[in-house]
Amino acid sequence: VSVTLSKAVSFAADVAAVILCVGVAAYLLRSTAPRKAATDERERVLAGSYRPGDAVPSLLGVDYTDAHRTLLIVTRSNCSFCLASFPFYQRLLAEKQRTRKPVRIVFLSPREDIGASELLRAHRLEADPMVSHAPRELRVRVTPTLLLVDRLGQVINVWLGQATPRDEVDIQSKLFQ
């Protein structure tokens, strides 16, 4: 009886170990898959967009040499993530005015988005120039998109979509450094 009981306990322990390993493997696969998918999606979106080091063409009178850094904010009037980002943009404009740093904040919208200027003004987002552009002139597929550009018009950083609190800190520190 003792040998049979010992074999049964050993078998049960082996089965429990296999079940535990399968459970851990399933958990790890499930928890890492969304990150991979998010990374793949970001890479797909960036494929036709700007990356750090790329040159951004001068857009309708925006002279990058006039400021230490320029933050280009691409937005649309019908974009819920853009609208949700307006309080952050208001804080950036207030910080710019408070610090008097040589930075420029420029809002860009598609030329056909006739309501964008009025919407920005209604939310007290009157920055340096408000530029309308044709979508082909600026390689941006996602709104909002923020491009931090240096005096030479080269991209320093790109942020896609609504900024997280961590992104907001990053954007603010890089813009006003």
Q: Give the pLDDT confidence score for residue 174 in this predicted structure.
A: 96
Cβ-count burial 47-73 (b if 16+ within 10 Å, e if not) = eebbeeeeebeebeebebeebebbbbb
Q: Give the pLDDT confidence score for residue 36 in this predicted structure.
A: 45
- List per-residue pLDDT tens for the chain, 177 residues long: 667 777 877 888 788 888 877 767 666 666 554 444 445 444 544 445 788 998 887 765 678 888 999 999 888 888 899 889 999 999 998 999 899 899 998 888 876 666 777 777 777 777 666 666 655 667 787 889 999 999 999 999 999 999 999 999 999 999 998
d(C-alpha 59, C-alpha 107), whole Å: 11
Q: Give the pLDDT confidence score for residue 81 in this predicted structure.
A: 93
d(C-alpha 136, C-alpha 139), whole Å: 6
Q: Give the pLDDT confidence score for residue 162 in this predicted structure.
A: 92
Q: Give the pLDDT confidence score for residue 44 in this predicted structure.
A: 45
Please name which of 62, 63, 86 lies closest in space to residue 143, comparing C-alpha atoms.
86
Q: Give the pLDDT confidence score for residue 92 in this predicted structure.
A: 92
- Taking CA atoms, 177 is separated from 43, 96, 131, in Å, by 28, 11, 25
